[in-house]
Chains A and B, each alone.
Chain A
Amino acid sequence: MTSSAAPTSPRANQGVPSTRARLARLAQRQGALVILVVAVLAATLAFDSFGTPGNLTNIGLQASFLAVVALGMTFVIMTGGIDLSVGSVFALGGVLAAWAAQYGTWAALLVPLLVCGAIGLVQGLIIARGGLPPFIVTLAGLLFARGVLLLISDEGATTYKVPAESAFRALAQGSLFGIGLPIWLMIVAFAVGGIVLHRTSYGATVLAIGGQEDAADLMGLPVARTKVIAYVTSGLLAGFGGTLMASYTSSGVTVLGVGMELEAIAAVVLGGTLLTGGAGTVLGTLVGVLLLQVIMNVINQVGSLNSNWQAVVSGTILLIVVTVQQWLAKVQRR
């Protein structure tokens, strides 16, 4: 849901865009990447410990959990919706995975996906078929998933442990070629997501719906089905992110994921995806997530700054980026 205070601008002129407009668009799409590169270079020069392979893979590993969630969020936002439930669903997925691990590795992988996918399905159906605002529906989903989580964890008192001999632990703790498995999974997920969104008819439909839902509907595109799939994807990926986290920590931590939906939205927005839907890239989201993680890492490197600076810096950067995006959009329209 986007309650845009700005009048929805007409699409940029449909003819051949001028060089200036093209540059502006490039900056809008890749602005976060520029900031990321500058930040990484500056941090490498400033701190000896930042550029070490160990630290960089650590950043990647920490980013992978949020990245998976933000990927699902990207799909939803591109349809012009929003999914506030991902934080709770992430936590629920983690607890379910840790609980199911006692029944085997496959159970630990499939149970959270089934439950979280079902939550996404119900939300998608209510939004797409019932015509309710995504903001409200997924807000209820946030409450619902958190409630279910408390129910199965005995009001948060129980922490399920993944059995020590379980192969499920390898999912996030194992590594391939010296790089942690979650990083590989993140890369694969984004590659698949990118192909689906930018190279398939489904992705084209997603962008069409986000661009102008009525027009997509009149063209005969399967609007409702596409939206439902987007919300199911978001639920599945949030659940999978939680599963990864459960494997990484070997337990189902009940207090995780609070505020994660906002981090995911921030990452998507930083990546140049418009909250009105219909524009953006999967790669941008990945850049947005990495940027947030780099900020966190740098704040930790400084040492004298406490972790609250991270929120201040992240929030400020978000505001600056969207301000610049607005300005670039104006340049494009000229």
Chain B
Amino acid sequence: MTDSTQAGRRPSAAPGHAGGQRSTGGDPAVTAEVPGDAPGDPASGSAGDARGGSTVVDGAPRPRRPRPRLDADWVRRNGVFVALALLILVNVVITPNFVSEGTLRLQLIQVAPVLIVALGMALVIGTQGIDLSVGAVMALAAALIPLYIGYGAAIAILIAVLAGCVSGALAGSLIARIGVQPIVATLGLMVAGRGVANLIGGEIKSIREPGIVLLGSGSLLGIPYVVLIAAAVSVVVWFAVRRTLYGRRLVAVGGNQRAAELAGLPVKRVLITTYVVCGLLAALAGVLLAARSQASDPTRLGLLVELSAITAVVIGGTPLSGGQVRVAGTIAGALLMQLITATLIFHNIPDSTAQVVQAVIVIAAVYVQLGRRRSGRPGRSGRKASP
């Protein structure tokens, strides 16, 4: 984990623009995530430790590392972790047999696909975008597996995941090159993608290929493969956001696209890459779900997953207005949503009440998150109150 990636400094500013475009009008959140990275700065300290709310003074060589203080702001940033810990404690006390390997294993298996989708969604939301097509991509990937299973599990999975990449590339191209709004582009893909999945998938097909079955229900050293894959994806996404040039650029593009363009960042490439990654992860989640249920059901698989994923990302503290990606928060958010649902099921509380409770929790969580940054309309600049 060296900072050697930091050596790849940004390319020189685009010709024609006066150098030293110091955009101070950016989002304060960006500076909180990207330590002083104004053009022409010396290489700043390691990325990823600027957790604090210390907004970097523009042009400062390196951020101050604030001491964590227990105040409202701290709660806002870490509320999701606190809530998760509390809910686990409550369950330990009130739910019989909660502390058992079986429960833990089941919860982790349940959350894995949603978590994988949510991580891709977090990247997209970090670029100030949104991807409504993930559920359809999951269904599409799952529908492709039975078609190509004759060539072996590996080929079938590869084709399924590639389909996700193609869908992501299409979304990214529409958004980055043509300038279609993310919500519209991915909405169109969602409708069309679900249709294509139904066309090629048809009715529910069972998948009995041993390789797929092993992937869905096998374990390594007692840990299910599905959970291992979700953990691996988490680590890779965290690393990409925190320690790579790509992650830097993603956050910069999300924080202020105009400024990123002026600074000479490859904005279009970053956007397209992000949507491709999101599509890839959604397809992977679809494959895992199909493997777990040993069937592909194009009509129902992945239905409303986009909403669960967005919720997990948002209660994890990633603002919809972009410029920040909170990987740990997203993981906690997905776990929290899963545990809320599970808790209600443990105590035989019906589905209807569960939905109402979830709705209230989402609103409350976002309200707490927004204490300092009131963005009435993400995607619009100039609506954010200065801190």
Asked whether A36 is an interface residue with its Cβ less than 8 Å from the other chain, the reply is no
Q: Are B181 and A319 in contact (CB-based, < 8 A)?
A: no
Question: In chain A between 12 and 38, which residues have their CB closer than 8 angstroms to a CB of chain B?
Answer: none
Q: When chains A and B are docked, how far (Å) is the Cα of A146 from the Cα of B375?
A: 27
Q: Are B194 and A318 in contact (CB-based, < 8 A)?
A: no
Within the complex, which residue of A1, A140, A318 is in contact with B377, where a contact is CB–CB below 8 Å?
A1
B270 to chain A, nearest CB (A): 11
B99-139 vs A, CB cutoff 8 Å, 1 = contact: the mask equals 00000000000000000000000000101111010000000
Q: When chains A and B are docked, how far (Å) is the Cα of A126 from the Cα of B179?
A: 30
Q: Are A213 and B199 in contact (CB-based, < 8 A)?
A: no
B363 to chain A, nearest CB (A): 5
Name the residue of chain B whose CB is nearest to the CB of A223. Answer: B376
Within the complex, which residue of A146, A262, A309, A323 is in contact with B355, where a contact is CB–CB below 8 Å?
A146
Q: When chains A and B are docked, how far (Å) is the Cα of A143 from the Cα of B193?
A: 23
A158 to chain B, nearest CB (A): 12
On chain A, the residues within 8 Å of B185 by CB distance are 319, 322
Asked whether A249 is an interface residue with its Cβ less than 8 Å from the other chain, the reply is no
Q: Are B322 and A269 in contact (CB-based, < 8 A)?
A: no
Asked whether A202 is an interface residue with its Cβ less than 8 Å from the other chain, the reply is no
On chain B, the residues within 8 Å of A314 by CB distance are 191-192, 195
Q: Are B355 and A319 in contact (CB-based, < 8 A)?
A: no
Q: When chains A and B are docked, how far (Å) is the Cα of A140 from the Cα of B357?
A: 10
Given A140-B362, A143-B359, A132 and B380 touching (CB < 8 A)?
no
Question: In chain A between 306 and 327, which residues have their CB closer than 8 angstroms to a CB of chain B?
Answer: 306, 308-316, 318-319, 322-323, 326-327
Q: Are A262 and B199 in contact (CB-based, < 8 A)?
A: no
Asked whether B383 is an interface residue with its Cβ less than 8 Å from the other chain, the reply is yes
Q: Are B191 and A311 in contact (CB-based, < 8 A)?
A: yes
Within the complex, which residue of A82, A262, A306 is in contact with B191, where a contact is CB–CB below 8 Å?
A262
Interface of B is mostly: helix
Q: When chains A and B are docked, how far (Å) is the Cα of A286 from the Cα of B366?
A: 34
Q: Are B351 and A323 in contact (CB-based, < 8 A)?
A: no
Within the complex, which residue of A133, A308, A323 is in contact with B199, where a contact is CB–CB below 8 Å?
A308
Asked whether B14 is an interface residue with its Cβ less than 8 Å from the other chain, the reply is no
Question: In chain B between 321 and 367, which residues have their CB closer than 8 angstroms to a CB of chain A?
Answer: 321-322, 350-360, 362-363, 366-367
Question: In chain A between 54 and 107, which residues have their CB closer than 8 angstroms to a CB of chain B?
Answer: 80-82
On chain B, the residues within 8 Å of A187 by CB distance are none
Q: Are B354 and A131 in contact (CB-based, < 8 A)?
A: no
B207 to chain A, nearest CB (A): 21
Given A143-B356, A322-B184, A6 and B179 touching (CB < 8 A)?
yes
Within the complex, which residue of A6, A133, A141, A147 is in contact with B352, where a contact is CB–CB below 8 Å?
A147
On chain B, the residues within 8 Å of A131 by CB distance are 370, 374-376
Question: In chain B between 181 and 197, which residues have their CB closer than 8 angstroms to a CB of chain A?
Answer: 181-185, 187-196
Asked whether B174 is an interface residue with its Cβ less than 8 Å from the other chain, the reply is yes
Q: When chains A and B are docked, how far (Å) is the Cα of A175 from the Cα of B370?
A: 51
Q: Are A4 and B362 in contact (CB-based, < 8 A)?
A: no
Given A132-B366, A151-B356, A213-B376, A7 and B188 touching (CB < 8 A)?
no
Asked whether B310 is an interface residue with its Cβ less than 8 Å from the other chain, the reply is yes
For chain A, the bracket of interface size reads 35 or more
On chain B, the residues within 8 Å of A323 by CB distance are 174, 178, 180
Within the complex, which residue of A134, A147, A265, A322 is in contact with B353, where a contact is CB–CB below 8 Å?
A147
Q: Are A266 and B191 in contact (CB-based, < 8 A)?
A: yes
Asked whether B307 is an interface residue with its Cβ less than 8 Å from the other chain, the reply is yes
Q: Are B311 and A322 in contact (CB-based, < 8 A)?
A: no
Given A141-B359, A275-B183, A136 and B176 touching (CB < 8 A)?
no
Asked whether B382 is an interface residue with its Cβ less than 8 Å from the other chain, the reply is yes
Within the complex, which residue of B132, B195, B322, B380 is in contact with A311, where a contact is CB–CB below 8 Å?
B195
Asked whether B32 is an interface residue with its Cβ less than 8 Å from the other chain, the reply is no
On chain B, the residues within 8 Å of A7 by CB distance are 257-258, 261
On chain A, the residues within 8 Å of B125 by CB distance are 3
Q: Are A140 and B180 in contact (CB-based, < 8 A)?
A: no
On chain B, the residues within 8 Å of A327 by CB distance are 178
On chain A, the residues within 8 Å of B179 by CB distance are 5-6, 326
Q: Are A144 and B359 in contact (CB-based, < 8 A)?
A: yes
Given A309-B195, A319-B189, A1 and B181 touching (CB < 8 A)?
no
Q: Are B195 and A3 in contact (CB-based, < 8 A)?
A: no
Asked whether B56 is an interface residue with its Cβ less than 8 Å from the other chain, the reply is no
Q: Are A148 and B356 in contact (CB-based, < 8 A)?
A: yes
A139-160 vs B, CB cutoff 8 Å, 1 = contact: the mask equals 1111110111111000100000
**Lowest 3 CB-CB distances: which A-B pairs, in order?**
A315-B192, A311-B195, A147-B355
| Given A133-B320, A136-B362, A262-B191, 5 other A-B residues pairs in contact with their CB atoms under 8 A | A140-B363, A151-B350, A214-B382, A311-B198, A323-B180
